[in-house]
């Protein structure tokens, strides 16, 4: 009985060792397949060439923005022509109205200052101003 039990233990141990080897081999194969799958996806998606694609797209974007800037900067023919004309008209109204009124008021203040303060002070002698 002891001998039979020993043989059973030996057979069981051998089966466990074989299963362990097979499991390790299977896990190794799974690992290899996963690595291969990842590499395939990276290749298919072009991840390694992504930086070059980004550079190309950024260059296209820069050219388009430059074209748009040239169009916007041209006040007579650009896409903002109507808005620019409206802005110029509003500026003219402001210049003719409020700005002109302020300038005229400024001239009036300057004239009043000269008539009421500066000219009388210029006529006075320095000794009269000091109270001598």
Structural domain boundaries in the chain = 1-45, 49-79, 81-132
Residue pair 75/83 in contact (Cβ under 8 Å)? The answer is: no
Torsion sign across C-alpha atoms 24, 26, 28, 31: negative
Q: pTM for this structure?
A: 0.38
Instruction: Output phi, psi for 76, to 5 deg.
Output: -85, -30
Q: What is the mean pLDDT of the chain?
A: 85
pLDDT of residue 17: 94
Per-residue pLDDT band for 71 (boundaries 50, 70, 90) equals: confident
Residue pair 78/72 in contact (Cβ under 8 Å)? The answer is: yes
Burial 5-18 (b: 16+ CB within 10 A, else e): eeeeeeeeeeeeee
């Amino acid at each position: 009985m002891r001998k039979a039990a020993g043989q059973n233990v030996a057979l069981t141990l051998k089966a466990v060792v074989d299963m362990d080897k097979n499991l390790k081999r299977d896990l190794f194969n799974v690992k290899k397949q996963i690595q291969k799958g990842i590499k395939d996806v990276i290749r298919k998606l072009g991840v390694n060439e992504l930086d070059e694609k980004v550079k190309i797209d950024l260059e296209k974007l820069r050219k388009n923005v430059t074209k748009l800037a040239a169009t916007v900067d041209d006040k007579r023919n650009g896409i903002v022509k109507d808005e620019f004309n409206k802005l110029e008209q509003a500026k003219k109204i402001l210049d003719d109205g409020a700005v002109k009124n302020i300038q005229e008021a400024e001239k009036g203040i300057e004239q009043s200052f000269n008539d009421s303060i500066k000219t009388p002070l210029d006529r006075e002698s320095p000794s009269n101003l000091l109270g001598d």
